[in-house]
Structure 1
Amino acid sequence: MKTIIIDDERLARNELKRLLEDFPKINVVAEAANADEAIELIDEHQPDLLFLDIQMPGKNGFELLEIIEDRVPEVIFTTAYDEYALKAFEYNALDYLMKPIDSSRLAEAITKVEAEIKRTERLSSDPNVQYLTENDQVFVKDGEKCWFVKLGKVRLFESMGNYVRLHFEDQKPMILKSLNSLEERLDPKSFFRANRKHIINLQWVEKIEPWFSGGLLVTLKGGEKSTPLEKIEISRRQAIKFKDLMSL
């Protein structure tokens, strides 16, 4: 696994590299002391994994992920602060390691990464994978409420950490699933990954506008008269795919 270590402390980077020597599948191809350096290295190496510090001079780790949102590899956060744990998983991080890093916890984190990469590769290479289409119905349970909803009625899937919120009619239940795993099951002809946090149902797009830095802003039709219209930003890189998908 091509890996980049991003941490403003040289000693912390060196210690992590030393620990990673026990894991032959991890190939540290580069290291960065800040987000700006990391962006260039990520573009150059297209890594499978980032070990990412949160508190850094300039842009922090979360801001870095916002910038590279369309090409984010697997992420393991490394930090001396535990107050960011919940937010880290909102960014679909696979693990959150506290400094000083314990070798056994590091092994657990790497096992998670290996399992996730294998799962993704298996799904992408399996010609028999059956996508869920807009005509499929799914069972949704949130607390004491249950729904049996046709996917064509779901206009938006929104990442909420380890959960995904479904928007249909005037309902917004949550399911215990990551947006990445859900994306792998949805028919790409009907459902489009707009950005790190959202998958939109293309049948519900009402309006498309140019947006900042080459992105697009799409307006989704409301589920009910009382439901406000939802505006979702399509990031610059995804906007290119969106235009190709929607063009003649």
Structure 2
Amino acid sequence: MSINALIVDDEEYSCKSLYFLINGYCPEVTIKGIVHSVADARKKIKSDKIELVFLDIAMPVEDGFSLLPDLKESAVSVIFTTAYDRYALRALKASAVDYLLKPIDIEDLKCAIAKALHWKKLGESDKIKSGINSERLNSLEENLNDINKISKINLPNSNGFQILDINNIIYVVADSNYSVFHLNNQKRIVVSKHLKEYEEILENSGFCRIHKSTIINLNYLTDYSNKSGLIVRLSDNSEHAVSRRRASDFLETIRLNFRR
């Protein structure tokens, strides 16, 4: 399977570097063009059979996120390319949208392209692919509305992903290499990713890691006690230990979030 791609980046060096990496290591990808602005990208997507866009975030006039409405209407997949920006990365991670950090690592590039090919195979028609794109990018736009907080999280599964409003998550626990999400409708979702990744996504959004194996949503906290070790109880009546190492951070978070 092959895929037609477009590189969108205002920096000539970044464009050439990515072009040579793809040509040298990713034979499944055919580069159909290189443009240096979102405006030119819009024209190219409409005129050529573009299936994948490598999209820089930080560009003058219009940043990469300005292209989202155009991508939602099409069956075009997107891989964002960016220098480190923790808030943008949190939004991308939470929305299950692929990204590459500059300078781009070859193995990361291969992995991102493999995912793009998977999405192409998963979508049997342009209509299905457009629907998948639209859902992921809608989630990303919501998360970008307030760059400091995450409102939606996309959890991958074997058939694609499931979009959750984070307010529906009571707590998340680690189970070996998996993370188990416990929801307010009594359902559980098991995801094959480490808890650490979700700690980074959910920080500053009302969640607190209280133990190496537990993240809780503070909105569901009902009480805590230090009678026999620090224990918290949540609204579903579940009880969770707060580790000694995280106790002071937890209490400080409580103080900041529940000021009278």
Structure-1-length-normalised TM-score = 0.50
Point out the structure with the larger helix share.
2
